[in-house]
Structure 1
Amino acid sequence: MNLFDTLLNPDRDEFPNRTVVYNAANLLDVGEFQFLQLAFVHWHGRDMRQDEIDAIFNSFMVHSEVPGWALLYARDICQLDRVGELDSADPAYHRFDVAGTAKARVNPRAGFIAAMVFLVGTLGGALAIAAQTAECAGEFPPCLSSSEITGPIAK
């Protein structure tokens, strides 16, 4: 795709098959490669071997090639979502999740406190800089007053 195509059609999808896979992975709340692993198990009935993992990862992530079985599985997931039969919390969809990575909810109060600490620190620093009364002899550090400089500049 060149610059003019992008300017004329900014919403044009460069890799529509990958977009279908991304959408299906988002519906299941899993990563793209986890989705490929699920699709592989669904299609082939077994887990991927290490050499297959390497080849499929390279093909999908580097070369943007979507295997046909992954595309069909992605379309099935999207269809289940359209008709309202998709249960994204089903443990079968999360069999490749790393244990112990449950999403923790952050208390909104913690975000507010962090923002207030940042604001107070920023304003305090600005006030400290503004309160400096020493007049510098030049624009660059070190900040010395005219009385501290001896020689031709002080006169």
Structure 2
Amino acid sequence: YSKIVEEDRSISRRDMDSRIIQGLINEIRQQNLKLYFFSQDSDFIARARGNRNLIAKHLEKIPQSKLKKKYKCSWEDFNRFLYTLAITFGAIKLEFSDNFTIDLYGIWRSKKLNDWERENLKIFTSNPVIERISKDLTILNNIKIEEGLNL
């Protein structure tokens, strides 16, 4: 949404929602398109409804009790699944019972052609162990690039 409306932390969330919705409606009119908008924010969705070319859908969290306990697939299939979700929705949040989250961004400002070609995602987490592993991987990748190694 940052492309549509400049972020201003001094305005209320409700006012920001209104600016985002108006920005979306203006873009839709200019480009003559229909936009499907998904969010877990029921207030935002209720306020976005009413424009025939902005189809707002509320996403509800599925209670853990309604999900199967186990699903099986290959790592490659799971990787493709997460990548597809992140690209389709722009970003997804994975919440774990250990009270930490992982945010996967498929789309971000200034994403380069190389990121698209390599199918890169930006990953943010509240888990310090994963953050340390990520830093180690960055160091290893830099060594690989500098030394020309095939890791």
TM-score, with structure 2 as normaliser: 0.22
Larger helix proportion of the pair = 1
Q: Which has the higher strand share?
A: 2
Greater relative CO (CA pairs within 8 A, separation 6+):
1
Answer with 1 or 2: which has the greater Rg.
1
